[in-house]
Amino acid sequence: MSLLPAFLDLHGARAVVVGGGAVALRRTRTLLDAGLHVQVIAPDRCDELAALTADWQPRAYRSGDLLGAALVVAATSHAGVNAQVVRDARDLGLLVNDASDATRGNLRFPAVAEQAGVQVAVSTGRELPMLAQALTERTRDLLPTPEQLGTWTGQREAALTLPEPQRQAALGALRRDIRRAVGVPA
């Protein structure tokens, strides 16, 4: 199965996480870091989840809880509840992740390396999160520092103001510098 890699700007959108354990905690952190407003629905929640700024509804999931959401995560320890959340989300045309079985949802969370605003997301296309995590750790060392990124951005902006053929020469030099910095042959 082929997946569509995408970076989504859902800042300010409502997300619903059903579940209150360790997996719900990880997904809630990810969603909050991306700027979503997160509502957690679970009778109980772990202490770390309680410390986050998510809105907690201390109860079991009910049909209708997903109305107005842009994204949903089913992260309970009950397969039947997760399956119902996924069915309800799909019926509403929502992005949904089933943390217990990623193949049931239409959204998967990749492993992510991030530095200086550069993000690299890795998915194996299979259920091998340890491979995605290892590749992400290896990739993290290749990401530019904020200083490098600032320098390269400035060089690109300056190059774009040049007339041809100087523009192409400056962009070519920048391309070679970037490729050299990340260990790719020019």
* Tens-place pLDDT, residues 129-168: 899 999 999 999 899 999 999 999 999 999 999 999 999 9
Angle at 31 between CA 10 and CA 121, to 5 degrees: 85
Q: How far apart are CA 82 and CA 65, in angstroms?
A: 13
pLDDT in tens, 69-98: 999 999 999 999 999 999 999 999 999 999
Q: What is the mean pLDDT of residues 12-26?
A: 97
Q: What are phi and psi of 12, to 5 degrees?
A: 85, -10
* Mean of per-residue pLDDT scores for the chain: 94
Q: Give the strand pairing for 71-74 and 14-18.
A: parallel
Helix (H) or strand (E) holding 155: helix 146-160
Please report how many Cα atoms fall inside a 13 Å half-sphere around the Cα of residue 83, on the Cβ side: 3
pTM: 0.86
Rounded Cα distance, 77 and 151, in Å: 48
Q: What is the C-alpha separation between 175 and 109, in angstroms, rounded?
A: 31
